[in-house]
Amino acid sequence: MNVYLVIIFFSYLSIVLFGYWLKALNLGHLKKYGAEVPLEFEGRIDSDLLKRTCDYTIENSKFSFVTSIFNNIVLLVFLFGGLLNLYNSWVMSMNRHFVVSGLAFFLLLIYAENIISIPFSLYRNFKIEKKFGFNTLTPGLWLTDFFKSILLSTILVGILISVGLWIVSSSPRFWWLWVWGFFLLFSLFIMYISPYVIEPLFNKFTPIDDSELEHRIKDMAEKAGVRVSSIFKMDASKRSRHSNAYFTGIGKVKRIILYDTLLTKMDRDEVIAVLAHEIGHWKKKHILKRIIVSEVMTFAVLYAAFYILQSDFLLQVF
């Protein structure tokens, strides 16, 4: 292992271990104080519910630790244990077109990652979620979701990779700029069609049948400057008893999605409070800011990749 590879290895390991240390500190604090009701909220918070919430968070956090450690070990072995070179050589030995080889390279890795994640997904859903009374997912529905996700990933990632690699081969000097532009337009396109094409593949959406709640939601949204085109109920209960609500749509026109579990567990005032939180994200432009940060980082990564590929750095490292 050359000096560059050693530096990269230990740099990555240091960052990961530092992140684990911070999470461990947070988990330790949660174990010690998480179930204690603050004096200001005594009589307003159910102590038993708080303890159960704390136990659920701790168990999920521990499991996330295990999952993350396993994934990082697999990644480190693949990158620094010689498997990357073997895999790359095997793909290149197929003697296919540059785009086809690149597509096979990435898709096979995605399939492998999905297969490796199966036992972790099963344990989280059918052990942890079931233990705390949240899981309603059946093995059959889990399997259907798994294959739908694989098919969807194949189509979407296949388009991204194929077009991206075609741009690389067509514009050797400026591919980083054109690829960034394509990724941006593609992500906006997916955001637009997702409520109509992708989300219905997994859930059923029906208009809410509470006219008073609908009126109150639209009135609150209008005060915040959000025009609501429609309000739907989603059959989230067929997978989980967790409750939630969210907005979809680009620009000022939004669709509001309410989990059926939310409507079952909460009264109108509580539902309005939940949606006020979601509207707050839009009002403060949190989603827009996240998109901007993401695109800036993508731009920087693509240019860095272009710069590195122009040099012989990768040949020196691997």
Domain residue extents for the chain: 1-81, 84-202+287-318, 205-284
Which two structure tokens, joined as six digits, stand for 252? 């000022």
Q: Where are the beta strands (DSSP E) in 195-301?
A: 205-207, 227-234, 245-248, 253-259
CATH no. for 205-284:
3.30.2010.10
Give the orientation angle of helix 83-92 with respect to helix 98-116, to 10 degrees: 140
- Quote the Cα angle for 216-218-221, to 5°: 110
191: closest CA among 113, 261, 295?
295
pLDDT tens-digit series, residues 267-313: 999 999 999 998 888 888 888 899 999 999 999 999 999 988 887 76
Token pair 């409520």 is at which residue? 195
CA–centroid distance for 83 within its chain:
27
pLDDT tens-digit series, residues 184-199: 999 999 988 898 899 9
Please state the φ and ψ torsions of residue 157, each to the nearest 5 degrees: -65, -35
Q: Where are the beta strands (DSSP E) in 249-286?
A: 253-259
206: closest CA among 179, 225, 234?
234
Statement: residue 138 has pLDDT above 80: yes
Contacts of 162 (CB under 8 A, 6+ apart): 99, 103
Q: What pLDDT, on the 0 to 100 scale, is given for residue 247? A: 86
Q: What pLDDT, on the 0 to 100 scale, is given for residue 318? A: 61
Please state the φ and ψ torsions of residue 215, each to the nearest 5 degrees: -65, -45
